[in-house]
Amino acid sequence: MTPHNRASKGDIAPVVLAPGDPFRAKMVAQRYLTDARLVTDVRNILGYTGQFQGKSISVMATGMGAPSIGIYSYELFTEYDVRTIVRIGTCGGLQPQITVGELILALTASTDSAWAHQYRLDGTYSPCCDAALLFAAVEQCRSRSIPFHAGMVFSSDLFSSYNALGADSWKPWARMGALAQDMETYALYSTAAWTGRTALSILTMTDSCVSGEGLPSEQRMSALYPMVELALEVASNCQDA
């Protein structure tokens, strides 16, 4: 056990799906996993382990922001022998061609955070996803005719709607090609690299910074089903690799 996770060794599968929202973790466990059991609930960060297509898979929330996902992912990688984390998150879209509800596969992440200062690198670090996981996700999207976009995301310490930089602070990042803004991908990819593990961030664009369009409140959970199903297929298949 750790200060943030009451699961015992062996309670958590080698592959973990990681939503930010604890209730999204609960939804995944109840809707998609068989024989799912709660393995941790410290600080109401819910984690479950069950079966999907005969494979043991866990789903555990990570909270919001780089420090939160950094703690949970580091402990999963180093204390629970997790090999792969697939983030299933939401994001704000930064490009006009991305429609609300479509998926984004985060190839790499830029940031305004000082997260990477801990590695004492003499330069600017740009972490990326695991290529095999990305290729598997792309293949699944194409075989299921799921619209998707793959490229850079911008992981910010600031929520786009609540910051003192102004309503247009996202535009320079959009000009440089960022597809969307989230808060966690950069820290997850950095932690995976540091610990020698693998990660992929799959995001559903729930709100467009460009058009102002957003998912209605009643669709904020159901609209995530395609992302979850894609992540489960990737998680299941990567255990055969």
From the list 21, 130, 207, 240, the catalytic residue is 207
Residues 58-103: tens digit of each pLDDT:
999 999 999 999 999 999 999 999 999 999 999 999 999 999 999 9
Give the residue-averaged pLDDT of 211-220. Answer: 91
207 is an active site residue: yes
pLDDT for the residue 212: 92
Confidence category of residue 217, pLDDT binned at 50, 70, 90: confident
Examine residue 38 and state whether it is found in any structural domain, yes or no: yes
Examine residue 136 and state whether it is found in any structural domain, yes or no: yes
Q: Which domain holds residue 159?
A: 15-238
Examine residue 10 and state whether it is found in any structural domain, yes or no: no
Examine residue 55 and state whether it is found in any structural domain, yes or no: yes
Confidence category of residue 160, pLDDT binned at 50, 70, 90: low
Examine residue 118 and state whether it is found in any structural domain, yes or no: yes
Confidence category of residue 167, pLDDT binned at 50, 70, 90: confident
Examine residue 76 and state whether it is found in any structural domain, yes or no: yes
Q: Can you give 161-201 as a three-state secondary structure string?
A: CCCCCCCCCCHHHHHCCCCEEECCHHHHHHHHHHHCCEEEE
Confidence category of residue 168, pLDDT binned at 50, 70, 90: confident
Give the residue-averaged pLDDT of 214-237. Answer: 94
Residues 118-147: tens digit of each pLDDT:
999 999 999 999 999 999 999 999 999 999
pLDDT for the residue 162: 67
CATH of the domain at 124: 3.40.50.1580
Single-letter code of the amino acid located at 129: C
Give the residue-averaged pLDDT of 198-227. Answer: 94
Between residues 165 and 136, the one the model is more confident about: 136
Domain count, the chain: 1
Examine residue 166 and state whether it is found in any structural domain, yes or no: yes
pLDDT for the residue 1: 84
Q: String of b and e for 45-74 (b: at least 16 CB within 10 Å)?
A: bbbbbbebeebbbbbbbbbebbebbbbbbb
Six token digits for residue 140 = 């699944």
Judge whether residue 41 has pLDDT over 70: yes
Six token digits for residue 213 = 């369009």
Examine residue 6 and state whether it is found in any structural domain, yes or no: no
Say whether 152 sits in a helix, a strand or coil: strand
The pTM is what? 0.96
